[in-house]
Structure 1
């Protein structure tokens, strides 16, 4: 789905991605406890929807908007959707690698990829530190430096 206004970044309530990180943390803990490549593949679909279509199309974004947001006051500020979408793409990469590991019998790969994704999701859920968002900002700054000099 395209953004509503081309060229204008979508702004989101920053509590939504943090809520999604809590759910992602729980799912990834369950993946590590069960070794379920199928559950990790389902999480990959959630990541893909958020990365490709936008956070509003993610199931966790939908849950936030329908169940949580109405019970909260308005956010103090909105933030650019691009860094959390990039973070979803990074999570997608780890989930795809992990699901492939679990489903092909390379369990150590499934565990390693799931644990890495869990660490990032937990940082966001517990501390509000989005590692993928920081990677996005680093990439933007690096690209700007390269194009300017």
Structure 2
């Protein structure tokens, strides 16, 4: 089997990741608001999309392709590159969450599936709107704890080592003005 078929891009364009997250928000909200066989079909599409992005990045995913080839060029911004392994980890978390929602739906637990989709919407909204990747943050913490080996993401590890060597600056506050007006003696 050719490993390049399942290679995840590294680095990743941050804007493409954010656009894909925005599309995930739209699809997850549509899924949560739908019912019956439409809800099931949308959940399957959402879960399959995450599985395809974990397998090969945006290459096999309809949402990924739409982001990379249509939405990001429309933005007209210079690519902002970021490490790929944390993004792949975040997609794997999205896969687990969407698969859980799918399982809940198949079991007939609609409320649990909707709550699970709400978690997905919250995380994808953080990524899309604010550029805060919750999965990437979890990846970083797991690297610092040694759960994820440093060789998985050399760039991530070197950033962590670089910040660990920086000592906090000595801070001396002479006077703090907090905006309170206090009468001076003799006034």
Q: 1:50 aligns with which of 43, 49, 53?
A: 53
| Residue 88 (1) aligns with residue 118 (2) | no
Task: Choose 1 or 2 for highest CA Rg.
Answer: 2
Shift of 1:82: 1.0
Structure 1 segments (4+ residues) deviating >4 Å: 144-147
Structure 1 residues 65 and 145: CA distance shift in structure 2, 3 A? closer
Which shows bigger deviation, 133-142 or 57-66?
57-66
Q: Deviations over 1:18-41 (max 9, x none)?
A: 000110001111111114132112
* Pairs aligned (count): 142
Instruction: Give the whole-Å Cα distance in 2 for the aligned partners of 1:145 and 1:85.
Output: 13
Matched residue, 1:16: 16
Q: Deviations over 1:79-111 (max 9, x none)?
A: 111111111110111111101111221112211
Q: Which has the higher contact order (CA 8 A, sep 6+)?
A: 1
Structure 1 residues 81 and 105: CA distance shift in structure 2, 3 A? same
Q: Is the 8 A contact 2:86 2:139 kept in 1?
A: yes
Q: Which structure has greater helix proportion?
A: 1
Q: Is the 8 A contact 1:37 1:98 kept in 2?
A: no
Q: Is the 8 A contact 2:7 2:55 kept in 1?
A: no
Q: How does 1:1-149 map to 2 (within 5 A)?
A: 1-3=5-7, 10-35=10-35, 36-71=39-74, 72-75=76-79, 77-143=80-146
Structure 1 residues 144 and 25: CA distance shift in structure 2, 3 A? closer
SS in 2 for 1:10: coil
When normalised by structure 2's length, the TM-score is 0.69
CA RMSD of aligned residues (A): 2.2
When normalised by structure 1's length, the TM-score is 0.85
Which shows bigger deviation, 57-66 or 12-21?
57-66
SS in 1 for 2:145: helix
Mind listing any 5+ residue stretches in structure 2 that lack a counterpart?
A: 151-187
